[in-house]
């Protein structure tokens, strides 16, 4: 009986290159993926300035409303011949629990105006590069959710929008190449090195 040794299949040999048509197809697919990732990064990151601008408009609306409520308390205090601080102190010392709660409401209104005014000032004074970090630091969750619920994407026509789009391209491609493509290539390289060469 004669035994014929079975030869290795083409794909089992580490040193055998892929056929030209397959190499061409994979190179084309990778170039297409790079372009898709560039567009996705540009589109996503270019929306940040628009979202922050719409958030700022909504923030200012909340600030105007909080100031209006506070001015009504000031008017009520002035009509009673007191300052706002005296109204709060008097309400807090009053034995009637409802008056004590009124003092707490006025204090909350003052704190809300201060908080929203600080956020508004910080966002307006931030540079284009620090604004996302300032936004995250001062973000009000309820205002951000309300902004997102009615947000409509816009085409950036400002230098800031274009800069964010460029940063998005670089960020997404770097993330893809460093976190996905690089580890896969290293893994395949190690695997090919372990295969015996015949």
166 in Cβ contact with 44 (< 8 Å): no
The count of C-alpha atoms lying within 13 angstroms of the C-alpha of 113, restricted to the half-sphere facing its C-beta, is 14
What is the 8-class DSSP label of residue 89? H
| Averaged pLDDT, 137-153 | 94
Encoded tokens for 50: 């628009």
Choice between 47 and 185, residue whose per-residue pLDDT is larger: 47
Please tell me the predicted confidence (pLDDT) of residue 196: 60
Count Cβ atoms below 10 Å from residue 107 Cβ, excluding itself.
13
Question: What are the pLDDT digits (tens) for 56-71?
Answer: 999 999 999 999 999 9
Residue 63: exposed, middle, or buried by beta-carbon count in 10 A (0-12, 13-18, 19+)? middle
48 in Cβ contact with 183 (< 8 Å): no
pLDDT band at 122 (very low <50, low <70, confident <90, very high): very high
């Amino acid at each position: 009986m004669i035994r014929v040794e079975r030869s290795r299949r083409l794909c089992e040999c580490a040193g055998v290159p892929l056929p030209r048509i397959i190499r061409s197809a994979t190179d084309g697919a990778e170039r297409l993926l790079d372009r898709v990732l560039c567009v996705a990064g540009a589109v996503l990151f270019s929306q940040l300035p628009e979202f922050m601008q719409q958030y700022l408009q909504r923030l200012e609306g909340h600030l105007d409303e909080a100031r209006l409520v506070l001015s009504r308390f000031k008017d009520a205090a002035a009509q009673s011949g007191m300052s706002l601080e005296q109204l709060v102190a008097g309400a807090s010392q009053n034995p009637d629990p409802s008056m004590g709660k009124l003092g707490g409401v006025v204090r909350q209104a003052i704190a809300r105006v201060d908080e929203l005014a600080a956020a508004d000032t910080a966002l307006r004074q931030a540079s284009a590069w620090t604004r996302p970090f300032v936004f995250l630091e001062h973000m009000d969750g309820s205002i951000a959710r309300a902004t997102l619920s009615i947000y409509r994407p816009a085409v950036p026509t400002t230098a800031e929008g274009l800069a964010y789009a460029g940063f998005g391209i670089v960020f997404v491609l770097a993330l893809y190449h460093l976190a996905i493509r690089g580890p896969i290539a290293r893994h395949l390289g190690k695997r090919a090195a372990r295969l015996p060469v015949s």
